[in-house]
Amino acid sequence: MVDRVVEHRGCRLAYSVAGSGPAVLFIQGAGVQGAGWRPQIADLATDYTCLWFDNRGMGRSQPVGAEITVAQMAADARAVLDAERIADAHVVGHSLGGPVALQLALDARERVRSLALLCTFTGSQTAAPLSWRLAWFGLRSRVGTRPMRRRGFLRLVVPPGATADAGALAELFGHDLADQPPVVAAQLRAMRAVDLTSRLTELTGLPALVVTAAHDPIAPPSAGRALRDGLPHGRYVEVADASHGLPITHAVLVNQLLRQHLAAVGPARPRFERPDAEA
């Protein structure tokens, strides 16, 4: 694994590269560092060049430097591809990373070989629908003692009746589950400010994998079905015993689905001779 930095629009974007083969770019959601993709990198880097990064204002990608919007986050993802001279890549997005991946494909279709959209949505119209369950778990993750907040947050990402190691999750997320990094508020505003449902038809023909979790209060199956309906050249999978933390709690299954998807699409193009970075 190699850790690198690319300067882009006022932020030193921290990213990492591991493996060799066709390029796969991983985009995280709100409040999670890029290294949250470790369960996927550990598997896929044996056959693919895996790239992942801390979103602007998260982890090592400081300072924030510019307003956080989905369009800005997509431009940041493209800057990582440019820095590595990647002509095109398979793009994987989780949660808020899904609209960012969609925006990247809309802005630069030639750079996106395929999409894999995990526990995600098109934006404000389908994300985090109001429900007593979401409101209760959200409140529990923000109010009370630190152990209470950790338990409340776990209820957002693991299915009913399941257990999870808060310490192990904190290592992947990059922070104690009792706390939320300051940038999360801006990331959630960015999510609420965009909806790409009406633009999905512009991506007709782009291979896509959409994976949802039956117990996900943040990106419920209805959000995944909206993606499925708007991206007809794709595969839709709903996991019955999972919630929003699907890539971590069901890593083996997710990795199998990603491998099947990537193999079906085929390899990406070679690298650029020179980077064509956006100013």
pLDDT per residue as tens digits for the range 51-109: 999 999 999 999 999 999 999 999 999 999 999 999 999 999 999 999 999 999 999 99
- What number of H helices and E strands is found in the chain? 10, 8
Residue 51 is predicted with a pLDDT of 98
Instruction: Please give the average pLDDT of every successive group of 10 residues along the chain, which has 279 residues.
Output: 96 98 97 96 98 97 97 98 97 98 98 98 84 63 80 85 87 89 94 96 96 95 95 93 95 98 81 48
Asked if the structure places residue 137 within a domain, the reply is no
Q: What residues have CB less than 8 Å from 233, skipping those under 6 apart? A: 204, 205, 206, 207, 208
- Adjacent-strand bridge partners of 47: none
3-state secondary structure of 219: coil
The CA-atom distances, in angstroms, between 76 and each of 41, 70, 98, 153 are 20, 10, 14, 28
**Amino acid 277: pLDDT:** 42
For the chain, helix, strand, coil in percent to 5 are 40, 20, 40
Decide if 203 is inside a domain: yes
Q: What is the pTM of this model?
A: 0.92
32 within a domain of the structure (yes/no): yes
Cβ-in-10-Å burial (0-12, 13-18, 19+) of 63 comes to exposed
Residue 145 lies in a domain: no
Q: Is residue 170 part of a domain?
A: no
Residue 274 is assigned to a structural domain of this protein? no
Q: Which domain holds residue 83?
A: 2-128+184-265
In a domain, 156, yes or no: no
Rg (CA), the chain: 17
Question: 212: domain CATH number?
Answer: 3.40.50.1820
Q: How many domains does the chain have?
A: 1
In a domain, 149, yes or no: no
Q: What was the pLDDT predicted at 234?
A: 86
Q: Return the axis-axis angle of helices 97-107 and 70-83, rounded to nearest 10°.
A: 70
